[in-house]
Amino acid sequence: MSEQTLHAEIAEQPQVVARLLEREEAAARALAREVHERDLELVVIAARGTSDHAAVYLRYLLETLAGLPVSLAAPSVYTLYHGTPRLRRALVIGISQSGQSEDIRAVIQEGRRQGASTVAITNDPDSPLARSADWVLFLHAGQEQSIPATKTYLAELTMGALLAGALGEQPELIRALRLLPVDLERVLAREDDLAAAAAAHSAMERCLVLGRGYNYATAYELALKLKEMAYVSAEPYAVPDFLHGPIVIVEEGYPILLVAPNDRTLPNLHGVALATRDKGGTVIALCDSPELAQIAHTAVAIPSGRHEALSPLGYAIAGQLFAFHLARANQLDPSAPRGLGKVTNTR
């Protein structure tokens, strides 16, 4: 593997999304019919690592667009404590690009034992997780060789949006999804600007990453990518949580990376940018607002897209490219984080 391989996998993401949408929309609609027919009232999602960030995004989608309350499972309840939460009336979803994690599979197996509807979202339809579930939603991402997850993460987000659109009967979201590959190409076209922003902050060793709403998950994923690719000690927060305490650590020159599409969360991000500047912090903004760009020390204009629920996909790509070029600016190999393997099997 090499940084060229990682870069190619980032660039491939519009094609991955298009392929998934073409091949899995019928399966998502069929699963939605079963959920409605069984009158399921709860969703339980199990995931780890990058996939856990996709699970957080799916939680926002299902609760806002489909009216389904979502619980993010604690897999250790099943594997370490041998707990058996009542799942019979739930849709139980396991998300894992490899499908190898035993603790994620344990949640699916317990759900199936109780008679719940179980779903595996995975890039390997022959994996142990896939074999444990009633339904398999295949990511169609192709082999991902680089250790940092890029195209498999985008595929997980796409699958989540597709499923939420079907469950919530959201035709506008589905229409926007079908045009998403074109929108993602527009984000990839901002690579030179993202590389310049990374070069301007190549000395960064720590930062906070802030987002809200649908992009709460994006803040977590970008912080992970900064750690994995560039070894930056990056900590993610939702804007309200940041204001409830962590803002006190902001001092002269402390970098704050904002995930700020032009949607209903923008006033919050605008306010945080002002508060950060007042404390002497450095504001780096991935945004779609000229007003916010004027406040920021560094801003890269990233299109928000056609539907606010889909902005995390474009902003995830922007964050991947920023982390990639930050690593390169420091002569690091972003494709092979030290001490990590491609598959982490947890119990």
**pLDDT tens across 68-82, in order?**
999 999 999 999 999
Q: In whole angstroms, give the CA distance from residue 172 to residue 176.
A: 6
User: At residue 290, does pLDDT exceed 70?
Assistant: yes
The verdict on residue 133 lying in a domain is yes
User: At residue 330, does pLDDT exceed 80?
Assistant: yes
271 shares its domain with 190: yes
Q: What is the mean pLDDT of residues 147-162?
A: 97
**pLDDT tens across 230-241, in order?**
999 999 999 999
Is 279 a catalytic site residue? Answer: no
174 shares its domain with 248: no
User: At residue 210, does pLDDT exceed 60?
Assistant: yes
The verdict on residue 347 lying in a domain is no
111 shares its domain with 257: no
Mind spelling out the 3-state secondary structure of 318-345?
HHHHHHHHHHHHCCCCCCCCCCCCCCCC
Q: What is the mean pLDDT of residues 236-247?
A: 95
239 shares its domain with 205: yes
169 shares its domain with 222: no
Which structural domain range is residue 242 located in?
183-329
Boundary residue ending a domain (178, 207, 234): 178
CB-CB contact of 315 with 259 (8 Å): yes
Question: For position 340, what pLDDT does the model report?
Answer: 65
Question: For position 127, what pLDDT does the model report?
Answer: 97
33 shares its domain with 82: yes
Boundary residue ending a domain (126, 145, 178): 178
The verdict on residue 344 lying in a domain is no
Question: For position 1, what pLDDT does the model report?
Answer: 58
Q: Which H/E stretch holds residue 153?
A: helix 151-167
117 shares its domain with 142: yes
Question: For position 336, what pLDDT does the model report?
Answer: 81
User: At residue 40, does pLDDT exceed 90?
Assistant: yes
The verdict on residue 198 lying in a domain is yes
User: Which CATH number belongs to the domain containing residue 145 in this structure?
Assistant: 3.40.50.10490
The verdict on residue 40 lying in a domain is yes
The verdict on residue 339 lying in a domain is no
Q: In whole angstroms, give the CA distance from residue 177 to residue 154.
A: 12
Q: Which H/E stretch holds residue 295?
A: helix 290-295
Q: Which of 151, 225, 227, 342 is catalytic?
A: 342
Q: Which residues sit opposite 287 in a β-bridge?
A: 260, 301
Which amino acid belongs to residue 52? D
187 shares its domain with 103: no
Residue 279 DSSP code = T
Boundary residue ending a domain (178, 200, 217): 178
215 shares its domain with 258: yes
Q: For residue 307, what are the CA distances in angstroms to 59, 165, 169, 191, 214?
A: 17, 12, 15, 22, 11
The verdict on residue 343 lying in a domain is no
Q: For residue 80, what are the CA distances in angstroms to 75, 86, 164, 266?
A: 8, 17, 31, 41
187 shares its domain with 174: no
User: At residue 346, does pLDDT exceed 90?
Assistant: no
User: At residue 343, does pLDDT exceed 70?
Assistant: no
Question: For position 117, what pLDDT does the model report?
Answer: 97
Q: What is the mean pLDDT of residues 256-281?
A: 97
Query: What's the total number of domains in the chain?
Result: 2
153 shares its domain with 214: no
Q: In whole angstroms, give the CA distance from residue 112 to residue 176.
A: 33
Average pLDDT, the chain: 96
166 shares its domain with 24: yes
The verdict on residue 38 lying in a domain is yes
